[in-house]
Structure 1
Amino acid sequence: MDITLWIMIIGWVFVLIWVPFIIYTNKKAHPKALFVLFFAEMWERFSYYGMRALLVLYMTKVLFIDLAQNVAETQAYGIYGSYTAMVYLFPVLGGLVADRLLGFKKTIIWGGLLMSLGHFTLALQGIEGLEGNMPFFFAALALIIVGNGFFKPNISSFLGTFYETDDPRKDGAFSIFYMGVNIGSFLATLTCGYVGQQINWHYGFGLAGIGMLLGLIVFYFASKTDMLQGKGGQPEEVTKGERKFLGLKPDYGVYIVSLLAIPVCAYMLDLDEVMSGAMIVISLLIIAYLLYQALTAKDKVEGQRLLVVIVLFFFHAIFWALFEQAGGSLTIFTDKNVDRFVGGTEIPASIFQSLNPLYIMLLAPVFSWMWFKLNKAGKEPSTPMKFVLGLTQLALGFGVIVLGAKYFASGDGLVSIAFLAVMYLLHTTGELSLSPIGLSMVTKLSPAKVVGFVMGAWFLSIALANKMAGLIGTLTTSEEVTDDTPASVTLGIYSDTYWIWGFCVVGAAALLLLLLVPLLRKWMNGIH
């Protein structure tokens, strides 16, 4: 019996029951637009996480199979870090495009089309003669990077327009929306992970592309109805013909620049050190610009609220730098050092990435309900305090895996699945305390005219984090490690890295933020 196949089937059945239940129980409390954007984002995340589940494994086991193991892993982490960094860097520009030129609807549709092309291009690498063709591989990733820049920030910002600034339903809406993100991730890691590792890598990538197209179709047809309340159109200056881009109609200008950006991104993917330096410079420039906006704002309250976003930017980056080990070093750790046999079947390492989205599907409604009830009782933690809780739980998750590695591993260096499951549970509760709350916070604290840009800058913190994640991942490699190195040796390398970076560094960040909470609450000026 193939247990992995049964896990995938049960997962799909569960989602087909769970999603209608969530919609039915929340349909009276929220506008229809929430569920349209929920579905569009669900399928977009199916495409992204379906590809992410396979990417590092595909590079180490196929693209770089001829290299020494530590070299293959280092190269894979470098590309993975640059890729995921740019995935979250381009939303800064995508937010500006929506704010100034295309509006939310057109920007989201254009981004979805580019991402679909990227996934199908990855699938085409299975054609004889293209396997291992690195320029083709980088071009596929570049299409996804540019497309995601248009799609990702704007669907979140668009959701915020359907609620008033301090609407008590807003955090709950973003938690439900975030559950849609993770339903897509759950189905993707199960389906694309199984198909990619057990059948064919390129079929897995192709499924990711189909998922993206489904999300695009859902959004496009909804935009033709009143479900989106007529919102998300182009700015008035554009519709009146008063605003051009590069001397062209904004639509054409954006499309041309987007296509020109693809070869540039493809080239940058293979320049790890240059990409690291560029990320730091870009981050500093954008933070400096936001600081300038905050400190020179005519409205002092608006300026202070923007300062809160800037401070939390850095703690947000620390959280994701360690959380994103899930798609990198934790997947390789699972492959090497976790006892994956269940009922006589060895479960593929990529499948374990589905634990995080499964927990979110189960717990997001609980967190949504909990925040709402605590709000009514006047006891809901402030946004900065929720960030402290998120960082603390992330640190505890790494503490669990270190505990399992140091004291409960088998003689041959394998850790029980139970420790991995508990680690992902703590990482998930940490994520639910921080990530959807951060999205909601940006829409509450940003000046209305630049909310798209600030949301893009917020995703920049994840871009910086993903580049850091790639660098932290390389600390788990060693020149002494080969294909024949016993698991007991690699276990020590992983546990030491996770103890220093996952537990100690993240724990210290949580403590520092706890000391800053009173000041940040004051700067929020009444917005909870």
Structure 2
Amino acid sequence: MATRQVRSDLFGHPRGLTVLATTEMWERFSFYGMQALLMLYMTKYLLLPEHARNVLGLGQFRAFLASLFGPMSDIAFASQTFGIYSGLLYGTPLLGAWLGDRVLGKTRTVAAGCVLMAAGHILMASEHFFLVALSCIVLGAGGVIGNMAAQVGLLYAPDDHRRTRAFGVYLITLNIGALAAPLAIGTIGEKVGWHYGFNVAGFGMLIGLVTYLAGRRHLPPDRITQREEREKLGHSERRRVLAILFLLIPYTLYGAAALQAYGIMFVWADTAVDRVVLGWEVPVTWIGIVDGVLTILGVVVANRIWIALATRGREPSDFAKVAIGYFGVAAAFVLAAASALLPLVPVLLWIAFFLVLDLAYGWTEPPIQSLVSRDSPPSVNAMMMAMLKATSMLSYFLLGWLGRFYEPLGAPLYWLMDAGIALGALVMLIVFRRPVMHLLEPEHDPPAQVSRA
């Protein structure tokens, strides 16, 4: 697909990357603020009997989950709810991608998604609408996540080697939002009032919407593929889609392990980590500030290493980069398991865990996004990017289910279990390498046939 030629203004990249990355920064500001507060909010406030009885539909929802998974403690129920909510955030982009590709176009779909997400965060001002608010956020995220990531890829020609680094810039910028969220949303939520924190998240989404609409002239032009224009995938295109689906299997396990750092770990750290500095107990959500800084550092370090190796013709493939990232996640949770054996974990040791984890992210997320964006057939590009995001849905569902083992196993064994899951993802990736590379080898197809309804 031809790309619009625009001037560069951000590290040698098109202006549209600035617009998309800034919008995503505010979306992530809201997302990570919600993520930082949600488990603490449920376990320390919402699920207390005097509050739980006021939540519309909560009793029925808990009874439904119990019918599927059996009786749950409050922590297990909170983990399951966190996993379902977070998972659906990454599942609805499949619907959003269909709307973006076939019905509304990516720009309108993203704008509508921002409005719904803002409304959901504002509804969190009342615990009565807790489940309604989560539903609005989930539906809104469906319009935003996959379509914006696809627009990043569409700024570049297929053979433009800036694409991987563009996703690195995109990741850095969104992590500025992740860095600011605990400082603003987390502090206000923990120290002033939970509901005030959620409203700050809604305000951030409104800023993101204004940013996106103001810069839409710099975005790739929308092309809505009508049903009668839909091209059948050729043989080599189907092979590429199959290869990507293979890669998403270990990526699911990797996510289920890595994302534990933002769920039950907050509940664990609330009592297990010594957070007193100069006589003042630092809010547990502030670890998100450190996480944001270290994630940016991880991407910068990885990019510098890749550039240095590229000058010598030795830059590893995206496949190899992802494998290194999976190993790093396993190492991080081994460190967490060892730390959990201490009576009280020094905060510096907890920060060291996030340092290892975030260095691993730098080797995993930009390469996997670049690979999917580059190797997906143009006619299903947004859909395949949404599939990548939807993989996190399965990761979060698995994460939520695994939460029931936290109390029986105890923290050290639970974190060691996460390390084993990450290592399992690495082994699976190695096993899949040869068939995936074979499927990605180019083949010549006859001209694609156009299906007419």
TM range (shorter): 0.7 to 0.9
Are positions 1:48 and 2:31 aligned together? Answer: yes
1 CA distance for matches of 2:81 and 2:382? 28
Give the TM-score of the pair, scaled to structure 1.
Answer: 0.75
The aligned residue for residue 524 of structure 1 is 440
| CA deviation string 1:139-189 (max 9, x = no partner) | 000000000000010000001111111311111000000111111111002
Which amino acid in the other structure matches residue 415 of structure 2? Answer: Y
Name which of 203, 217, 223 aligns with 1:210.
Answer: 203
| CA deviation string 1:383-430 (max 9, x = no partner) | 222221111000000111112223xx1xxx211112211111111111
The aligned residue for residue 59 of structure 1 is 42
Instruction: State the shift of 1:497 in Å.
Output: 1.1
2 CA distance for matches of 1:165 and 1:122? 42
The aligned residue for residue 235 of structure 2 is 299
2:135 aligned counterpart, secondary structure: helix
The aligned residue for residue 502 of structure 1 is 418
The aligned residue for residue 137 of structure 2 is 144
Instruction: State the shift of 1:236 in Å.
Output: 6.7
Instruction: State the shift of 1:217 in Å.
Output: 0.3
What pairs up with 1:129-528 in 2 under 5 angstroms? 131=127, 133=128, 136-223=129-216, 225=217, 227-228=218-219, 231-233=220-222, 235=224, 237=226, 297-300=233-236, 302-406=237-341, 409=342, 413-478=343-408, 493-499=410-416, 501-525=417-441
Which amino acid in the other structure matches residue 39 of structure 1? Answer: T
Instruction: State the shift of 1:432 in Å.
Output: 1.5
Change (3 A) 1:329 1:236: closer
2 CA distance for matches of 1:391 and 1:450? 27
2:104 aligned counterpart, secondary structure: helix
2 CA distance for matches of 1:469 and 1:460? 14
1 CA distance for matches of 2:323 and 2:297? 22
Instruction: State the shift of 1:234 in Å.
Output: 5.0
Change (3 A) 1:101 1:234: farther
Q: Do the aligned residues in 2 keep the contact of 1:385 with 1:517 (CA within 8 Å)?
A: no
- Aligned-pair identity in percent equals 30
Change (3 A) 1:498 1:363: closer
| CA deviation string 1:64-91 (max 9, x = no partner) | 12399x7221111111111011111100
1 CA distance for matches of 2:10 and 2:137? 33
Change (3 A) 1:233 1:460: same
Change (3 A) 1:375 1:404: same
The aligned residue for residue 61 of structure 2 is none
| CA deviation string 1:341-392 (max 9, x = no partner) | 1111111112113322111223323323333343343222222222211110
Change (3 A) 1:236 1:319: closer
2:161 aligned counterpart, secondary structure: coil
2:49 aligned counterpart, secondary structure: coil
Give the TM-score of the pair, scaled to structure 2.
Answer: 0.87
Stretches of 4+ moved more than 4 A in 1?
none
Q: Do the aligned residues in 1 keep the contact of 2:326 with 2:426 (CA within 8 Å)?
A: yes
Q: Do the aligned residues in 1 keep the contact of 2:88 with 2:393 (CA within 8 Å)?
A: yes
2 CA distance for matches of 1:524 and 1:234? 26
2 CA distance for matches of 1:81 and 1:236? 34
2:314 aligned counterpart, secondary structure: coil
Name which of 66, 84, 87 aligns with 1:82.
Answer: 84
For the aligned residue pairs, the C-alpha RMSD in angstroms reads: 2.3
Q: Do the aligned residues in 1 keep the contact of 2:168 with 2:299 (CA within 8 Å)?
A: yes
The aligned residue for residue 100 of structure 2 is 98
Structure 2 unmatched runs, 5+: 1-7, 53-71, 444-453
1:215 aligned counterpart, secondary structure: helix
Which amino acid in the other structure matches residue 107 of structure 1? Answer: T
1:505 aligned counterpart, secondary structure: helix
Q: Do the aligned residues in 2 keep the contact of 1:103 with 1:232 (CA within 8 Å)?
A: no
Q: Do the aligned residues in 1 keep the contact of 2:255 with 2:392 (CA within 8 Å)?
A: yes
Change (3 A) 1:28 1:62: closer
Instruction: State the shift of 1:26 in Å.
Output: 6.8
Change (3 A) 1:138 1:434: same
1 CA distance for matches of 2:438 and 2:363? 21
Q: Do the aligned residues in 2 keep the contact of 1:384 with 1:520 (CA within 8 Å)?
A: no
